[in-house]
Amino acid sequence: MPLIPTALSAQAKAKAASVTVSGQKLPGIVDSIASAVSAYVLGSAQVQGTNVVLGPGSGTFTGRISGLSVSTMSNLMRISAATAGFSGRDLGKLFDSIAFGVVQSLRQTIAQGTVIGGGPGSGQSRIYALVPKAMQAQIMAALAGRTLIGSKTSDLIKAISFGICNHILQNATIITTCIGVAAGPPVGPITIPAAPGTGKLV
């Protein structure tokens, strides 16, 4: 399943309702964040890793994201918000809700890519190239389109972007399954212990 904005938003809203976070502007804010985060992550994230495969040959890999924690992502948002001088129980609940939606959606997202020099096997990849300031700008643009900008909006979105990007970069791992064709005798098949893989989230 790809990273779908409506699914991310629905999960975040359901979590917010379960912890009694509400407000007239909340649905629009969550929808804007979900749309911008989904577009930014799918458009910018790069998947890179190494694989133990049979080769020489060519192949592709797929995998799902693991290693993400709602509480860790939310706590990173809290840390960033605290440096900007604002906090609060409801703010923490909002961070929990956004983090829940992002983490649950990312756990269903698939990584796909190409294995260089090898065919069937397995490996591990990480996610790179996410920049909090770039995500913040995309979310702010989505909020501006709904006229949901306030005096502290920039600091709020900065904290959310900081938590999402840094948690993914630091903790997300992808166990890859590689498929493809390895050369036969006399050149192969041989085990290639560190075949690079590059790809994207889809």
Q: Is the pLDDT of residue 87 over 80?
A: no
pLDDT tens readout for residues 135-153: 999 999 999 988 777 778 9
Q: Is the pLDDT of residue 78 over 90?
A: yes
Structure tokens of 24? Answer: 């007239």
Q: Is the pLDDT of residue 1 over 70?
A: no
pLDDT at 20: 82
* Cut 0.85: pTM above it: yes
With CA atoms as reference, report the closest residue to 118 among 181, 200, 174, 47: 181
Structure tokens of 1? Answer: 């399943």
Mean pLDDT computed over 37-46: 98
